[in-house]
Structure 1
Amino acid sequence: MTPLKYLQGYPAQVLDQVRRLIAEERLGDYLSRRYGGHHAVQSDKALYAYAVALKQEHLRNAPALDKVLYDNRLDLTHRALGLHTAISRVQGGKLKAKKEIRVASLFKEAAPEFLQMIVVHELAHLKESAHNKAFYQLCEHMLPGYGQLEFDLRLYLTWRDLAAAKPD
């Protein structure tokens, strides 16, 4: 039985469908049909502009972003595809909080929909810190179809692992 570490918590019926796609070697075909494009957001500067534009469209009253960048150190071993941080520092007599978003570098090569999904996810943390119902409602508001994109991203990660483990 194929372990599906990125899909834990999904119903058995869904997992059986995924295992069938894997067994028939059709998972890659499914993903390339749905998400065959590439995006032009390749630099940290372009990623910052992309995230700020999404923030302006959906979260105008949220705190400003100080830094958005691709991070080579974020990977699946840390179980993080993106990371939001608020770094607090005392400057003079005031407490300043800098908001940062770091996106795993694997998204440079991923489909544009997956990059958008991960940026929306991290932006939603500016308003909702926990992964609760309000958080996912905000994600869905910012990106209709968010739930399906998150599932398909998990499929993509599964496919990447399978491709990496396959002997040449």
Structure 2
Amino acid sequence: MIKKVSVGELLHSVPGTQIEHLIADLDQTPVGAVNFKIAPGSEANSLIIRIPDGVVLAIPYAEIEIDVACDRCLQNYKHNLIIENAEQLYYTHKLDDVDVEDHEFGYELISNKHQNIDLNTFLADVINLAIPTTLLCDENCTGIDYKTQDDTNRNPFAKLLDQ
């Protein structure tokens, strides 16, 4: 499981203070991940910035490799994702003038007891949003023949060679 990040010291500093955090254990697929697994070796740099009512977790830029199945031929392959300017606000207390459901940027509360922020949900959401609607192992992937259930990406003369 991807670890939680302690922001206790940051909460006692002045607004504008920031810390860099390397998210290096991305080979663990975050909870909430849909139809993908993060490939080993992927990592992302993040910034945690103190704001008056909490902190902002930001990933300015990351390249993450995921293992997914092609939508046409169902073969597993590695797909590279580029994540830019992903942010999540974490507040220390419930804001009186903000409706949680209508908040534009998401609304998370930092536990006063533990003063940790959990990266699992944030990473799963960011990666799910970065995945294209159609995942193809190759732009020219022809997929599976719906009548014979054969992979049409194979050599069309392969059956002749098998005889």
Q: TM-score range by the shorter chain?
A: under 0.3
Normalising by structure 1, we get a TM-score of 0.26
- Structure with the bigger percentage of helix: 1
Normalised TM-score (structure 2): 0.27
Which of 1 and 2 has greater Rg? 2
